[in-house]
Structures are given as structure tokens and as C-alpha cells.
Amino acid sequence: MINIENVSKVYKTSTEAAVKNISLHIPKGEIFGLLGTNGAGKTTTFSMLCGLFPPTSGNIFIKNMSVRNQIKDIKKIIGVVPQNIALYPTLTAKENLSFFGKMYGLTGSNLKKRINNHLNIFGLTKFADKKIKTYSGGMKRRINLIAGILHKPLLLFLDEPAVGIDAHSRQEIMEQLIEINKNGTTIVYTSHYLEEAEKFCTEIAIIDEGNILIKGKPNNLIKEHKTQNLEKLFFEVTKKNTD
Amino acid sequence: MKLKASIIKEFLILIRDIPGLIVLFLMPAAMIIVISLVQDTTIQSLKGTKINILYINNDSDILGTTLLDGLKKSELFIIDEKKISEKDAKILVAKENYKIAITIPKGTTDLIREQIKPYIKSIFTGEKIDTTKHLKTTRIKILSDPTVKQTFRHTIISSLQTYTAKIETQIMMKILVENLEKMTGVKTKISEDAINTVEFIEEFAFEKETSIIPNSTQHNVPAWTMFAMFFIVIPLAGNMIQERNDGSFFRLLTMPGSYLTVLGSKTVVYLIVTFLQFIMMLLVGIFILPAFGLPVLNLGSNPFALIIMGLASGLAATGYGILIGTISDTHEQSGVFGSVSVIILAALGGIWFPVYAMPAFMQKISTISPLNWGLNGFYQIFLKDGGFLQITSYAILLFIFFLVTIFISTIIEKIKRLNK
């Protein structure tokens, strides 16, 4: 599904590369976790995958389409859930979802059905006509997620989708994401909740200072490095990198 | 479909922003009412309802009394006549008891007679006059409060000069007649009317018959409408910055569709807003200003031209708002840069001070201000009863300005995003 080939990114405001010659292959159907500390290069990689800006060198292919030349076609098959609550606070949940759905080309009864269905799944039906600014953090996160999945994307990018919300809401969101994945959507996910990533991801890569340090299935990696869990593995590999 | 969805979204955001709507509609209405009333009060004060003048006549002859009568007749001033010293007059003006004091020196009329007599005599005798010997002057002093505007002081000096010249002529004629009587023995009576043969009639030069009378309302409404329309940059730029801060702009960039769709929806919604502002300002001119005793706004006879100018000005203002919103990264930047730049463009454009009265180089600079194009276009309609032909060039300039701002905004957005 995704091929990242020798990609580097140097911001014009910096002399050091934010992402250093990384290569990754993410197969179709995976829930892929890109894990790292703040400033490790997760968001830069995420932004390049979404086509917000091009790599300084190397290339990224999504379904064999280059993000450099075919971003318009790529945008049709991807869904993005940013870390920020990327919604209009003075619009209701329905109005927000209707707008974002229409931007993906959904219309009429199909759009209406999908909105109602998702609001129902995420337990937000009775708040559908309330303005987003009146929502709790967890409710906003759920609408933020729905806005990215309403059009049933083949590939879903999630940037810290459950950050800053209570455990119950987080659990609910993760369960829904697993359902979405089962229905055929490949998920690329960044997070610093390592315990959650261990349970949720079918494959992970740990990125630090712009380099991919390790990549593989969480359980295999834990076994290979003879550690107890992903959190310990993460500290081990990122500490070595720092040393 | 995407554009329609975007327009609906922008519209919903706009109508739910009550403080923003107040800025967009009530503030311009309040501004035009206040400014029109203030300007009208200034004009009224020039007509003599409020300005007090202290008149100290030490001449007690024809000049002193004629000047006093003339000032009274002009309806520009309230005259208070006193017999006090110049020093005391200065104190009274300094204490703001009077805005202006005029002191006529003793013997001024006699001095004029003395000056004129040798000249008249030379006409009859052919004697040469020693100009150095006869050149004596007297000074009519005008003491003014420092707060009195230059234009107002000039009005008074101009009035005094007019009346003095008239008196000098009268004295000259009288001496001339006296000399002629002595020579011929024939009694001659010169009527004062004979001197006033030239009358001034003011008439506006319209190319065709029109009901328009240029007045403060016809000047103010288009000027402040342009100004208010361009102040849309603040809410519009704020809307764009908010969208970026919320992250929804980021989401939009990851979605199928062009950035022009985003700008297109903002353009449509804010163009409607500016056009509604425009209609509201016209209604203020027609219904509200007359309620305060100001002249009724006359829309002229070309509604089509008026609509075109309203739309072209709205487009230019919207384009400028989008440009400011694209350039600025924070609300503070857009607020300061947006408002200051609009004030500069308004000053250059002749909103506050007529372009024709500016220095030559400023007049050249003013031609780059879109507010100047808009104002000139509206003046064609409101002051000259012009039609579509007269406003076309201005409307085209405003439309080109809109296209240029959108083009630059698109480039800047791309540069900002891709050049990271």
C-alpha cells in the first residue's frame, strides 16, 4: 500500500534533517504504528504521506502513485485524522460532517445515512445538532475521527487520534478503528501511547531523530530484543540511539 | 458541489459570529452617521452658528463700520463689538472666550484717503508721485485661537480683504468725483450699485440634466462606504487564521479539491456581505441621515452602474482580505497590518482629503489605491450622475485588483506550505 523510498526532509528553517533517508514498506490491511518521542520526525513523515509538502529527497508511493506527481488521485483514497481537533467549533456535528463528507464527494441520502450511522456507532446521535464548541474533549475526538473515515478511505492516517482523552473514550475509539481496519482500511497511526500501540498495531516502526531504528511486528520485536513490552523496547532502542 | 458546501459552511460560520456581524454591519453604519454629522456640524459652524468673533473697531469711520457690516452680512460669524485694547483682546482669545479677534487700527480710513489723494491728483495735474514718500501702511490684526483651522482663518482674511478692497474703491471713486466736480462744477452722484457690476453665480457643470445636487451626503456616503467595505479585511483574515489554527484548514488541504475552492467560497460569502454593507450604507444615506437633518442621498439615474460598482468594490475588498489572511500568521498581525494598510489606502485614495488638493507626487501615488478607484467610480454616479460607461474603467481596475490579490494569495499559500 505504501512505499517510502530513501526519504529525507530538511526544513528551510533548519540545517538538520527532520527525517533522514528513511525507507518503509507498509502492506495493505496493516495497522501500522509510527512511534517516537516529540520531535522524532513522526509529524514530518505524516505530513509528507498526506501530501502536504514533498520530501527533500526520495519518494513516497501510495498504491503505486507518487505523492510528488499524483497527489490529487491519492487524496481521493486517503482519510486523515489530525492531532488537532480539525473541526469548525461553531458548526454542529452534523454540519461539520456534512461539509467534510461533501468535500470527499459524498452527497444526498448516502451522506446523510453515513453521518447518522457513524454518529450512532460512536454514541453521539443525541448530540448531533449541538455545536462542536459545546462538546467534551472525548466527543470532539470522536467527531474528528468520523470526519476522516466518513468516505470509507482505503488508507487512513491518524496522528495521535486519542491524545488527551479519558481511557473509556480512548478504548472506544481504538475498538472502532479495529473495526474499520477489518473492513479493509489500512491504518497508519502515530502515537506516544506505547501500551495502546502494542495492543492495536499489527506492525510498528520506532523513529528517533529522523531515523527508523527498528521495524516489525510488536510481539516479534519484543521477543527479539528480550524485553517485557513495547514500552521497555522503545526506551531501550531510543536510549541506545541517544547514547 | 464542493463550492456550494464550502459556501454554506462559510455562511453558517459567519452568521453565528455575532461580534463579527456587529463589526461588519453596525460599525460602518455608526461610522457613516457620526462622520456625516460631524462634517455637517463643521460646515454649519462655518455658516456662523457657533464661531464668536470679537471686533475692536478703533477706526470709527467708513472702513471700520463697513467691515463690521460685511462680516455681519456674511452669516459666517457671531460678532461681538468691544472697545478694548489689543492686549486685552489677546487675553480673551487665549481664554477661549472668542475664537478670533479683529482689531481695526485708529485712522485706517483716513490713511486710505491720504494714500489715494496724491494718485488722483497726479491724474489731473500730471505730477509725478514720490512713491517712497507716500507709501504708508496700516495693519488690521487678526488674533486667533490656535485651535481654529487654517481654512477657517483663511475664510476670514479673505472676507476682510474683499471688503477692504471694496472700501478702497469707494474712497477712490469719491475722491475722483470730488476732483471732477471741482474741475467741471457739475454735481455727480455715483451709485454704489455701479461698482457691484460683477456677480458670482455658482453652477455645477453636469454633462446632462440631473436631479443630483452635490452635498455632504453625496460625498460622504460613497467615501465611507468604500472605507467600511475594505474593513472587511479584519473579519475575513481572522476567519482564515482561525481556520488554520483550528486545524480544519490542514484537513482541507488533505482532501480532494483545489485551494481555489476554499478561496472561492470565502469570496462568494464575503462579497455578499460587502454588497449588503453597501446596500445598508445607501439606506442610511436615504433614511437615517435625513432624520438628523442632513440631505437625502440621491442615487442618480443609473442603478445598473451602481450595482456594478458595489460588486467591483466588494470583490476588491474581499480579495484584499484574503491576501491579508494568507500573509498573516496571527490575529495580531492581520489586525494591525489589515487596519493600518486600509487606513493608508483610504488616505491615499482621497477618502479623507481630496486627491486634487494633494501634492503632485501624492496625487500620482493615490492612483495605485483601490479605494481611489472605487471612490472615483462612485463619484461618477453620486456626483456626476454617470452611467456604465463612466464607471467601466474603475470597475475593471477593481476587478483586476481582485484577480491579482487572489493570484498572489494562492502563490503565497503554496510557497508557505511547500517551502517548509
CA B320 to chain A, closest CA, distance in angstroms equals: 24
Closest CA in chain B for residue A44: B420
CA dist B65 and B59 (Å) reads: 8
B276 & B392 share domain: yes
Torsion (CA) A47, A50, A53, A59 in degrees, nearest 10:
100
- The number of beta carbons lying within 10 Å of the beta carbon of residue B85 is 11
Q: Is residue B206 part of a domain?
A: no
B419 or A175: which leads in pLDDT = A175
Asked whether residue B175 carries a pLDDT value surpassing 70, the answer given is yes
Q: Residues of chain A with pLDDT > 70: what percent?
A: 98
B10 & B28 share domain: yes
Asked whether residue B125 carries a pLDDT value surpassing 80, the answer given is no
B265 & B301 share domain: yes
A76 at B interface, C-beta within 8 A? yes
B223 & B176 share domain: no
Closest CA in chain B for residue A73: B256
Closest CA in chain B for residue A131: B16
B257 & B396 share domain: yes
A55 at B interface, C-beta within 8 A? no
* ipTM for this prediction: 0.86
Say how many domains are in chain B: 2
> In angstroms, how far is CA B275 from the centroid of its own chain?
24
B281 & B362 share domain: yes
Closest CA in chain B for residue A68: B418
Asked whether residue B327 carries a pLDDT value surpassing 80, the answer given is yes
B contacts of A54 (beta carbons < 8 Å): 418
Which residue is associated with the grid cell 500573509?
B327
Give the pLDDT score at A194: 81
Give, as one character, the DSSP assignment of residue A84.
S
A132-136, B32-36, B280-284, B396-400: the lowest-pLDDT one: B32-36
Range of the domain at B82: 48-194
Q: Nearest Cα to B226, choosing from B336, B30, B62, B369?
A: B369
Asked whether residue B49 carries a pLDDT value surpassing 80, the answer given is no
Q: Is residue B407 part of a domain?
A: yes
Q: Confidence band (pLDDT; 50, 70, 90) for B45?
A: low
Tell the burial category of B227 from Cβ atoms under 10 Å away from its Cβ (0-12, 13-18, 19+). Answer: buried
CA B21 to chain A, closest CA, distance in angstroms equals: 14
A contacts of B12 (beta carbons < 8 Å): 90-91, 95
A contacts of B2 (beta carbons < 8 Å): 102-103, 105
A contacts of B8 (beta carbons < 8 Å): 99
Rg over alpha carbons for chain A, rounded to the nearest Å, is: 18
Give the pLDDT score at B279: 94
CA dist B372 and A138 (Å) reads: 52
B32 & B107 share domain: no
B130-155 residue pLDDT tens: 666 656 777 888 888 887 777 778 87
State whether A85 and B247 contact (CB < 8 Å).
yes
CA dist B269 and B272 (Å) reads: 5
Determine the residue among A19, A65, A102 to mutate to test chain B binding: the one whose Cβ has the most chain B Cβ atoms within 10 Å. Answer: A102
Q: Confidence band (pLDDT; 50, 70, 90) for A143?
A: very high
Side-chain-side CA neighbours of residue B142 (13 Å): 17
B19 at A interface, C-beta within 8 A? no
B348 & B388 share domain: yes
Average pLDDT, chain B: 85
State whether B12 and A91 contact (CB < 8 Å).
yes
Q: Is residue B96 part of a domain?
A: yes
Nearest to B9 among A75, A85, A91 (CB): A91
CA B260 to chain A, closest CA, distance in angstroms equals: 13
pTM confidence score: 0.78
Q: Of B163, B194, B225, which marks where a domain is finished? A: B194
Q: Confidence band (pLDDT; 50, 70, 90) for A40?
A: confident
A contacts of B420 (beta carbons < 8 Å): 11-13, 53
Task: For residue A124, report the phi and psi dihedrals to the nearest 5 degrees.
Answer: -120, 10
Collapsing DSSP to helix, strand or coil, A36 comes out as: coil
B7 & B72 share domain: no
A64-82 residue pLDDT tens: 899 888 888 899 899 999 8
Helices B233-246 and B331-349, interaxial angle, to 10°?
A: 160
Give the pLDDT score at B184: 79
B221-255 residue pLDDT tens: 888 889 889 988 988 999 899 888 888 888 888 88
B257 at A interface, C-beta within 8 A? yes
What average pLDDT does this structure show over A9-36?
87
Give the pLDDT score at B406: 95
B158-169 residue pLDDT tens: 888 888 888 888
B1 at A interface, C-beta within 8 A? yes
B165 & B219 share domain: no
B21 at A interface, C-beta within 8 A? no
Task: For residue A4, report the phi and psi dihedrals to the nearest 5 degrees.
Answer: -105, 120
Closest CA in chain A for residue B5: A99
Give the pLDDT score at B134: 58
B24 & B138 share domain: no
Which residue is associated with the grid cell 481537533?
A85
B121 & B234 share domain: no
A11-20, A208-217, B269-278, B366-375: the lowest-pLDDT one: A11-20
Q: Is residue B82 part of a domain?
A: yes
Q: Is residue B204 part of a domain?
A: no
Which residue is associated with the grid cell 482519510?
A79
Which residue is associated with the grid cell 490713511?
B111
B393-410 residue pLDDT tens: 999 999 999 999 999 999
CATH architecture of the region A2-242: 3-Layer(aba) Sandwich (3.40)
B250 at A interface, C-beta within 8 A? yes
Give the pLDDT score at A241: 55
CB A160 within 8 A of CB A192: yes
A contacts of B5 (beta carbons < 8 Å): 98-99, 102-103
Q: Is residue B208 part of a domain?
A: no
Asked whether residue A181 carries a pLDDT value surpassing 60, the answer given is yes
Asked whether residue B120 carries a pLDDT value surpassing 60, the answer given is yes
Q: Is residue B209 part of a domain?
A: no
Give the pLDDT score at B48: 46
What average pLDDT does this structure show over A142-148?
91
SS3 sequence of chain B: CHHHHHHHHHHHHHHCCHHHHHHHHHHHHHHHHHHHHHHHHHHHHHCCCCCEEEEEECCCCHHHHHHHHHHHHCCCCEEEECCCCHHHHHHHHHCCCCCEEEEECCCHHHHHHHHHHHHHHHHHHCCCCCHHHHCCCCCCEEEECCCCCHHHHHHHHHHHHHHHHHHHHHHHHHHHHHHHHHHHCCCCCCCHHHCCCCCCCCCCCCCCCCCCCCCHHHHHHHHHHHHHHHCCHHHHHHHHHHHHHHCHHHHHHCCCCCHHHHHHHHHHHHHHHHHHHHHHHHHHHHHHHHHCCCCCCCCCCCHHHHHHHHHHHHHHHHHHHHHHHHHCCCHHHHHHHHHHHHHHHHHHHCCCCCHHHCCHHHHHHHCCCHHHHHHHHHHHHHCCCCCHHHHHHHHHHHHHHHHHHHHHHHHHHHHHHHCC
Give the pLDDT score at A160: 81
CA B17 to chain A, closest CA, distance in angstroms equals: 8
State whether B6 and A75 contact (CB < 8 Å).
no
Average pLDDT, chain A: 87
Asked whether residue A214 carries a pLDDT value surpassing 90, the answer given is no
Q: Nearest Cα to B323, choosing from B251, B402, B257, B252?
A: B402
- The number of beta carbons lying within 10 Å of the beta carbon of residue B290 is 13
Give the pLDDT score at B265: 93
* Helix (H) and strand (E) counts in chain A: 9, 10
What's the CATH code of the domain at B106? 3.40.1710
A5 or B115: which leads in pLDDT = A5
Q: Is residue B32 part of a domain?
A: yes
